Amino acid sequence: MSGAHLVDSFLEMMSAERGAARNTIEAYRRDLGDYCGYLAGKGSGPMQAAREQVVSYLAFLDAQGLSASSSARKLSAIRQFHKFLCADNLRADDPTRIVGSPKARRALPKVLSIGEVDRLLSLAEQEANEPASDAKQAAALRLYVLLELLYATGMRVSELVSLKRSAVMRDATFLTIIGKGNKERVVPVNDRARDAVRAYVATLPPGPWLFPAGGEDGYLSRQVFARDLKGLAGRAGIGAARVAPHVLRHAFASHLLAGGADLRVVQTLLGHADISTTQIYTHVLDEKLRTLVEQHHPLSDKA
């Protein structure tokens, strides 16, 4: 039986037994037709295809520039097709059984340069010290302290806005952060951030939160912080679309690695349970290694 006839039989089953919608049937027809066409070009077919040919087909799709999600969708159709062939005793084995699904490449995090972070911090400090109404000056000082702490520690925005005042009062040189799963971690705080926090705390009325607000939670919302940060970025001449609280966390990690910090240390500071999560920043290390080789290799023009 030809590949086209096998596909037709599969689609009839999908329609009759599973009630698949017309659009679903047509999508399967296109995906399986493409798969069978590839196999035919290799002198094979769905009855003869081995695991290696399924893997080769996925590699072909990747080389064509197809996204991982689209390739995974095609593989899902192929899996169901081969399960059908096995269930109907047309094939004794399923070549897709141990084929891994295509994984999307993790996008590199958006990162600001050290100069851009410095511009943000400098403007935030300037605005915090400018004469203004009590409410405006309090908001400016709060934003400045938020930025100093975020870039000094790399904490998650949810961890930052929900900081309790006691977390910064125990030891002026360290900060206790409650992360995911209520896990505590202690991170160092630089002099600049520490001084900013001390001056800020002196202006606060009594209460448990470092960044109190009138909402249900009792502390500043992430959305308000993000809005204020984007406004500051615009005033600093940095595209607001490039700036968000998590971008400062990325900058913290990337700038530390670029400066020579160990990946395991950065993992601990960020509160990542698995080193693989931190490895998204290794593009910084790759660039640093490339630069070192170019500068110091004996055969390099720059050596």
- What pLDDT score was predicted for residue 179? 85
Bridge partners (DSSP) of residue 212 are 219
- What pLDDT score was predicted for residue 17? 85
Mean pLDDT of 275-281: 79
Q: What is the mean pLDDT of the chain?
A: 88
- What pLDDT score was predicted for residue 172? 65
Q: Where are the alpha helices (DSSP H) in the chain?
A: 3-17, 22-41, 51-63, 68-87, 114-129, 134-153, 157-161, 165-169, 191-201, 222-235, 245-258, 263-270, 275-278, 282-296
- What pLDDT score was predicted for residue 183? 87
Q: Which residues are catalytic?
A: 156, 180, 246, 249, 272, 281
Q: Are 249 and 146 in contact (CB under 8 A)?
A: no
Question: To which residue do tokens 């695991």 refer?
Answer: 51
Mean pLDDT of 279-300: 59
Nearest to 269 by CA among 114, 159, 193, 172: 159
Over 90: is that where the pLDDT of 298 sits? no
- What pLDDT score was predicted for residue 211? 97
Tell me which H or E stretch contains 174. strand 174-178
Q: In this predicted model, what pLDDT tens digit does every residue of 143-187 receive, in sequence order?
A: 999 999 999 999 999 999 999 998 887 666 888 888 887 888 989
Question: To which residue do tokens 């084995």 refer?
Answer: 93
Q: Which of 33-37, 54-58, 106-110, 150-154 has the lowest mean pLDDT?
A: 106-110
The upper half-sphere exposure of residue 287, i.e. CA atoms within 13 Å in the direction of its Cβ, equals 9
- What pLDDT score was predicted for residue 281? 78
- What pLDDT score was predicted for residue 53? 94
Q: Are 271 and 156 in contact (CB under 8 A)?
A: yes
- What pLDDT score was predicted for residue 87? 93
Query: 39: exposed, middle or buried (C-beta count within 10 Å: 0-12, 13-18, 19+)?
Result: buried
Over 90: is that where the pLDDT of 29 sits? yes
- What pLDDT score was predicted for residue 2? 82
> 3-class secondary structure for 18-80?
CCCCHHHHHHHHHHHHHHHHHHHHCCCCCCCCCHHHHHHHHHHHHHCCCCHHHHHHHHHHHHH
Q: In this predicted model, what pLDDT tens digit does every residue of 94-144 receive, in sequence order?
A: 999 888 888 765 555 667 899 999 999 999 999 999 999 999 999 999 999
Question: To which residue do tokens 């959305």 refer?
Answer: 223
Structure tokens at 250: 């990325």
Contacts 24+ apart (CB under 8 A), 110-114: 110/242, 110/244, 110/247, 110/250, 111/247, 111/250, 111/251, 111/254, 112/238, 112/242, 112/243, 112/247, 112/248, 112/251, 114/251, 114/255
Share of the chain above pLDDT 70, in %: 89
Over 80: is that where the pLDDT of 33 sits? yes
- What pLDDT score was predicted for residue 224? 96
297: pLDDT confidence band, cut at 50, 70 and 90? low
- What pLDDT score was predicted for residue 171? 61
